[in-house]
Structure 1
Amino acid sequence: MNLAGAIRDLDPAQLPGKRDEDWRWTDLRGLVRVVPEPSTPVDPRDVGQGPFEHLVSASYVVANGAGDVRIEVAAGEDKTLALRLLSRGAGSHTARVEVEVAAGARLTLLETYEGDTGGYVAHASLAVSLGDGAVLERIVLAADGAEGVSVSEAEVRLGAGADYGQTVLLSGARRQRVETRVAHPGGGAKLRLDGVYLVADKRHADLTTVVTHDGTDGVTMQMAKGVVRDQARGVFQGRIVVARGADRTDARMEHHALILSDRAEVDAKPELEIYADDVACSHGNTVGALDEDALFYARQRGIPEAQARGLLTEAFIGEVIDRIAHEGARGIVRLWAAERLTG
């Protein structure tokens, strides 16, 4: 299985499929029979501004996979940057991004996936490295077109005492997947992995994470929530591995989803693999409908049913959005989510 190779060689046989355990709910091989020709080049200067433009000191734009990006934050620096990955037309393309945050540095990375109505196949590969004591908050808005196929895969390595916070928001596509794999060294490093998927029509969104704790005294906190309606499908896969000797690991995972129509679907697989004894680990998973009691009480107070459902749904995902540290980005994300809940 090699998505980048499939795009490079125009070879659908290399695409991941349902026989690959981690891809069984996001089968690309069965969907994409012919990999499109390479995407037409797009001038990044012609794509307008992104949603976070006014919050950042610099913006990196990768349009149809043209050019690799390397982001470096030196020791003592504190930066807020935008990374925009755009897909235009019906071609295929790949992009590679490297992010290095030096020891003691801070970075807020505001990342967007912006697709049009074309039937594109896009792959982004990110390599993220945090030095000792570095801080990074990564906020991802994945807004692909309904006919697009988009996969983002991030490999994250933490230094001792590092603090990495992530919030991923997905609205789905023909197939959309944001995957994050974290090498956690322990050593007092802190990890927050949050996500929200809001999927309607016939869209498909896949939020996948894997965290491997290799040292003592590491912390991972994860909260993911989803809302699906119409004939949409949401996928959550979360795996936390605590290696032998990674004592005093504190790892918590939660996934909760709302299904708002009879034909919508949620597939969830939260996993803990624990090979150490002295740990505090837990996971929780629920999939269901809106709380009918809460809806009844809202209507008893004169709130129309449609408005009551909207308020309850916003409150449901708001718990995740409220954990975003960057105030300006948090406000934009809240508006982005509200538009998709009411659209």
Structure 2
Amino acid sequence: MSVAQAITSGDASLLPSRRDEDWRWTDLRGLIRQMPAASPEGRPWAWESPLAGQAAVEVAVVNGRGSTDLEVAAGEERFVAWRFLSTAEAGAHNAELWVSVGEGAKLTLVESYEGAAGGYLANTMVNIKLAKGAKVERVVFAADHAEGVSVVDASVELAADAAYAQTVLTHGARRQRIETKVAHPGAHAQLRLDGAYLLEGQHNADLTTVVEHQGVDGTTTQLTKGVVRDQSRGVFQGRIVVAEGADRTDARMGHHALILSDKAEIDARPELLIFADDVQCAHGNTVGALDEDALFYAEQRGMPEDLARALLTAAFVGEVIDRIEHAAVREAAQAWADQRLEV
């Protein structure tokens, strides 16, 4: 079962459901009883890029339309901003992005997922392959419509000595799942997988990752932070698999979330599956409320409660944003967080 097959065939029974263990918290089959019609072709609407002034190649994909390729030649350095737009009311569409990064090349890839109308079902498959010594930083801004349903499924393949860094920033949708699967060869390749979700209203967001360490001397660091309020729901699923023989793997995973209202919900499942002996692996998961002592301290010094809460929350998610390497993208990410936290 897959979202792509369901959209192509128009058969809602092919959508993932709670019977699929990895989809039990993001049940699409229970939500969508009848598939929307195929989305019509659309045109991009006016949009002020947060990356204005950057020497970026900007490409827009409206309501799907098949496969698109991006190739970065060996030794080349590029900055690409890719926009996936859903403009159709109650339409369904697929899109694919194939990225190939040559030996020693460097790519900064910024993806935005935006919805102008509700009721759509959007599915995007992203395939990224890094050659030896290549370096990629991928930052995802997910700004789907509150009534949209969106799935982004990325597959990443690393070569020896490659470095891949990713940050996903989202405020959710009616249903939203952003999944990343990484084939890690070891061989001194480095991986960073980060994310932040800031949810309110009845928004849902599911950040799922699977990393498979297949060889010796590989490194993975992962940090995800979330904030939920009102009746929103955040889902984090992180799985790191260390295969037999993948010795000297160093893998660290952390998920930490704040619940700011009684009706909000967090579902988290961090997993380590280790089949090698000589490894350093750890994971952590915490879910709680704002530090009342810190809040009291700020209020005692004359800070209004709303501002104090916003600043403490901003500091909480700021650790994820500070890890973004590209300065202009990091500034855009900070502006994204400030706007949603009203700092």
If the TM-score is normalised by the length of the shorter chain, which range does it land in? Answer: over 0.9
Shift of 1:49: 4.5
1:29-48 map, 5 Å: 29-44=29-44, 46-48=45-47
Task: Give the alignment of 1:1-343 within 5 angstroms.
Answer: 1-44=1-44, 46-89=45-88, 90-342=90-342
What is the identity, as a one-letter code, of the residue corresponding to 2:39?
S
Query: Whole-Å Cα distance in 2 between the matches of residues 56 and 176 of structure 1?
Result: 31
Structure 2 residue matching 1:328: 3-state secondary structure: helix
Q: Distance in 1 between matches of 2:48 and 2:96?
A: 21
- What is the CA–CA distance in structure 2 between the aligned matches of 1:189 and 1:259, rounded to whole Å? 35
Q: Percent identity?
A: 60
Q: Distance in 1 between matches of 2:291 and 2:48?
A: 39
1:341 deviates by 1.7
- TM-superposed CA distance for 1:109, in Å, is 0.1
In structure 1, give the amino acid aligned to 2:193: L
Q: How many residues end up aligned between the 2 structures?
A: 342
Native 8 Å contact 2:66 2:94 kept in 1: no
Task: After superposition, give the CA deviation of every residue in 1:118-163 in whole Å (9 maximum; x if it has no partner).
Answer: 2100000011000000000000000000000000000000000000
State how far apart, in whole Å, the 1-side matches of 2:233 and 2:55 are. 33
Q: Is the 8 A contact 1:63 1:86 kept in 2?
A: yes
Runs of 4+ in 1 over 4 A off after TM superposition: none
Preserved CA contact (<8 Å) 1:52 1:110: no
Query: What's the CA shift for 1:57?
Result: 2.6
Contact 1:56/1:82 (<8 A) preserved = no
- Tell me, in whole angstroms, the C-alpha distance in 1 between the residues paired with 2:181 and 2:63: 24
Gaps of 5+ in 1: none
Q: Which amino acid aligns with 1:163?
A: A
Q: Secondary structure at the match of 1:55?
A: coil
**1:61 and 1:83 in contact (8 A); partners too:** yes
Partners of 1:60 and 1:69 within 8 A in 2? no
Asked if 1 retains the 8 angstrom alpha-carbon contact of 2:86 and 2:117, the reply is no
Alignment partners' CA distance in 1, 2:48 and 2:292: 42
The TM-score with structure 2 as length reference comes to 0.98
Q: Aligned partners of 2:9 and 2:55: how far apart in 1?
A: 37
The Cα of 1:60 is off from its aligned counterpart by 1.6
Whether the aligned pair in 2 keeps the contact of 1:53 and 1:82 (CA below 8 Å) is no
Question: C-alpha separation between the residues in 1 aligned to 2:331 and 2:178?
Answer: 22
In structure 2, what residue type is equivalent to 1:320? V
How far apart, CA to CA, are the structure 1 residues paired with 2:196 and 2:73?
Answer: 31
Q: What is the SS of the residue equivalent to 1:321?
A: helix
* Mapped partners of 2:320, 2:155: distance in 1: 22
- Give the distance between the partners of 2:55 and 2:24, measured in 1 at CA: 38
1:341 counterpart letter in structure 2: L
Indicate conservation of the 8 Å contact 2:211/2:241, yes or no. Answer: yes
| TM-score with structure 1 setting the length | 0.98
The question of whether the paired residues in 2 share the 8 Å contact of 1:97 and 1:126 is answered with: yes
Q: Matched residue of 1:54: which SS? A: coil
Alpha-carbon distance between aligned partners in 2 of 1:334 and 1:57, rounded to the nearest angstrom: 19
Kindly tell me: are residues 302 and 48 of structure 1, through their superposed partners in 2, closer, same or farther at Cα, counting changes over 3 Å? closer
Deviation at 1:278, TM superposition (A): 0.2
* Root-mean-square deviation over aligned CA pairs: 1.1
* CA distance in 2: counterparts of 1:204 and 1:254, whole angstroms: 20
